[in-house]
């Protein structure tokens, strides 16, 4: 008899099988003497426990046993429920569980951003002089995010005559 079938017989006597399974197994049992012997043994083993739990007496007197319990209860109740330091510590301990992993994520994100900016071959913000073939004017460009600023100045003009154009970078690229 395999282990699986033996465990099914056990479940059968423990009432853990469905009705249909129990009926099927009962039919199998009728034709299997070894299985019937095993089931009889399991039933006897189960039956001997009914009402026969070993009796054990507590080896301490009522007063002594209760005295220890009472002292423990009083000790626990002496710890003031409204202790501010205790509550603060408990709160901190609770928060620490969430704050620590969040802090870790924040640090990793920050380091990631720094690495991206450091290794980014195309910095978002820069100020550069645009190549200019004219000797009569000077132009500078500055880019920040999606904004592209071009500042042109006639070499003979004063700073008051310079012209600033704000260009939306994405629109300019689309054109």
Partner 1 sequence: MATQHDNSSVSDEKLVKAAQRGDMPAFEELVARHRDKIYARAFSMMRSEEDAVDLSQEAWVKGWQRLKQFQGDSSFVTWMTRIVINLCLDQLRKQKRQRSESIESLEEESGGVERQMPTVVINPTEGLERRELRQRIDKAMGQLSYEHRTVLILHEFEELEYKEIAKRMECSIGTVMSRLFYARRKMANLMASYKREEMS
> Which residues are near partner 1 by CB under 8 A?
3, 6-7, 10-11, 14, 16, 34, 37-38, 40-42, 44-60, 62, 65-66, 68-70, 72-73, 76
Q: Which is nearer to partner 1, 37 or 164 (CB)?
A: 37
- The pair of structure tokens assigned to 5 is 């079938």
In the complex, what is the shortest distance from the CB of residue 11 to partner 1, in angstroms, rounded to a whole number? 7
In the complex, what is the shortest distance from the CB of residue 62 to partner 1, in angstroms, rounded to a whole number? 5
Reduced DSSP (H G I as helix, E B as strand, rest coil) percent helix, strand, coil of the chain, to 5: 55, 15, 30
Q: Which is nearer to partner 1, 63 or 122 (CB)?
A: 63
Alpha helices in the chain (DSSP H): 3-13, 19-30, 33-47, 62-78, 84-119, 169-174
In the complex, what is the shortest distance from the CB of residue 26 to partner 1, in angstroms, rounded to a whole number? 19
In the complex, what is the shortest distance from the CB of residue 88 to partner 1, in angstroms, rounded to a whole number? 23
CA dihedral 117, 120, 125, 131 (to 10 degrees): 160
Report the number of secondary-structure helices (H) and strands (E) in the chain.
Answer: 6, 4
Q: Which is nearer to partner 1, 53 or 156 (CB)?
A: 53
How would you write 87-99 as a 3-class SS string? HHHHHHHHHHHHH
Do 141 and 151 contact (CB within 8 A), yes or no? yes
Q: Which candidate, 12, 13, 30, 29, places its Cα nearest to that of 21?
A: 12
Q: Which is nearer to partner 1, 48 or 93 (CB)?
A: 48
In the complex, what is the shortest distance from the CB of residue 124 to partner 1, in angstroms, rounded to a whole number? 55
Q: Which is nearer to partner 1, 69 or 133 (CB)?
A: 69
Phi/psi of residue 149, nearest 5 degrees: -110, 130
């Amino acid at each position: 008899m395999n282990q699986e079938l033996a465990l099914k017989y056990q479940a059968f006597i423990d009432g853990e099988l469905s009705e249909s399974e129990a009926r099927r197994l009962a039919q199998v049992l009728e034709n299997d003497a070894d299985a019937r012997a095993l089931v009889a043994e399991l039933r006897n083993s189960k039956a001997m426990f009914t009402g026969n739990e070993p009796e054990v007496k507590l080896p301490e007197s009522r007063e002594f046993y209760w005295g220890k319990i009472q002292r423990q209860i009083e000790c626990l109740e002496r710890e003031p429920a409204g202790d501010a330091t205790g509550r603060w510590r408990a709160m901190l301990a609770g928060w620490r569980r969430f704050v620590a992993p969040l802090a870790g994520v924040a640090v990793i994100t920050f380091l990631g951003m720094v690495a991206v900016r450091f290794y980014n071959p195309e910095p978002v913000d820069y100020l550069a002089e645009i190549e200019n073939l004219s000797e009569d004017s000077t132009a500078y460009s500055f880019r920040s995010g999606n904004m592209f600023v071009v500042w042109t100045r006639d070499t003979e003009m004063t700073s008051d005559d310079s012209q600033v154009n704000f260009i939306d970078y994405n629109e300019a690229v689309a054109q």
